[in-house]
Amino acid sequence: MVFSSIPFLYYFLPIVLLSYFVVPKKFKNSILLISSLFFYFYGEPKFILVLLFSCVFSYLFGKWIDKCQVPWKKKSLLVLSLCINFGILFYFKYYNFFVSNINHLFPDTLPFLSIVMPIGISFFTFQSASYLIDIYRKEVKPATSIFTYSTYLSLFPQLIAGPIVRYQTISKELETRESKTSDISNEIRRFVLGLSKKVMIADMLGIFSKELASLSSNTVIGFWLKAISDSLQLYFDFSGYSDMAIGLGLIFGFHFLENFNYPFIANSITDFWRRWHISLSSWFRDYIYIPLGGNRVSKFRHYRNILIVWMTTGLWHGASWNFVLWGLYFAFFLILEKKVLLKFLKNHQVFSHAYTIFLVLISFVIFNQTDLSLLGETLKGMFGFSKIAFCNKETLFYLKDSIILLGIALLFSTPILRRGKDYLTKWKRGELLVGTLEVILTLLLLLLSTAFLIDESFQPFLYFRF
């Protein structure tokens, strides 16, 4: 079951909301736990055991780590729990990738296995690991019961595609919380906005991208249009999901942290990663980069730390060498900025923004192409090193057909509309106008999104594969 589906919007969610707000406070977590497990079971019946195992084992290890008073035993328990956690992730996500590389060096050494990766395993594995590490660091107390912890780990708004919600962020709200009427109305709008970003922009960009990929003859402009379309599609797909998750969370009284902050207005790669998938980049910062020494070490070790973090960031996204290359690509420019470019970029805003967008577009070309030989052909085509036309009538036809879609996507990837809203709400009449328009637009967007879903023009969330 996915958020952008008729069964979720008009069957599952209304039943869950009605049940949640009808029952007494002491049963609200039970409703969330049962509905979350059903939500996962509906989409991944055979992998519900993986999720349940993760809930039970992490809860028990959290208790043991907290109670242990002998430092070396406490650390051993943490290491063992993390090995089990990431061992499960390795088996489902990386085993065959590991085997293929070993067999490439030593033919027929290891057998391939028929493995299907459980949806969301990267997200709930990282949440489980952060819970155990935070207990070890004494930054959070263990959950009061296995049911409370299971509610946290399986919470359906963020279960299968994030954002990565740390236990310490919502630990108090798991015990006691309130759902305010003002929050609910605002977050219904947030949810609907996320839904429309996914269904009406991301999925339409996906169709445009497929049209460009099927051109009878490639062109330089065609390659660049596809790079732009793919980048915007990924942004609206994932930020749309995050909007829906944050909106749903607040309806139930949980305050998830923001996951995107208009990354396409960034003026450096460093700034871009402060704005893109914030929950993931902060996770790697707090649990890998800083424990390795961060920037409080020699230059060599500092750069080594960046490389380690970004190789693992790349691998987190998928078991393929293009993701490793993608991570190293960002590591190179982050190191270059820290060593040379940041001061220059701060003093040249127009150049810095163009530089950032250019590098980000190239990065997502790497990200989207698992075949490295085809990646080379794509990059050659983009820079005119292939014997192809700069543009042709077919490319122009598809561009004209989707120019409004691209314009809308570019507009909504910036904070222009939000700033306009903030400006208008400074006055009482403007606030009334904005409030009225928001209600009308929310209803209109929900109706249009539903129409798109009934038309079956939607696609699965891209981040489900991670």
Give the active site residues: 317
Please, which contacts does 107-112 make with residues 24 or more away whose CB atoms are closer than 8 Å? none
CA-wise closest residue to 272 among 189, 356, 367: 356
* DSSP reduced 3-state for 294: coil
CA-wise closest residue to 196 among 4, 463, 10: 4
Question: Residues near 28 by Cβ (< 8 Å), separated by ≥ 6?
Answer: 20, 252
Residue 219 pairs with which residues in a beta bridge?
A: 389
CA-wise closest residue to 169 among 229, 127, 117: 127
> C-alpha distances in angstroms, 356 versus 223, 271, 388?
19, 9, 27
Question: Residues near 2 by Cβ (< 8 Å), separated by ≥ 6?
Answer: 8, 43, 460, 461, 464
Question: Residues near 173 by Cβ (< 8 Å), separated by ≥ 6?
Answer: 253, 254, 255
Burial 258-294, CB ≥16 within 10 A → b, else e? ebbebbbbbbbbbbbbebbbbbbbbbbebbebeeeee
φ, ψ of residue 51 to 5 degrees: the values are -65, -45
Element (H, E) at 420: helix 416-424
Q: How far apart are CA 227 and CA 382, in angstroms?
A: 9
CB burial of residue 30 (10 Å; 0-12, 13-18, 19+): middle
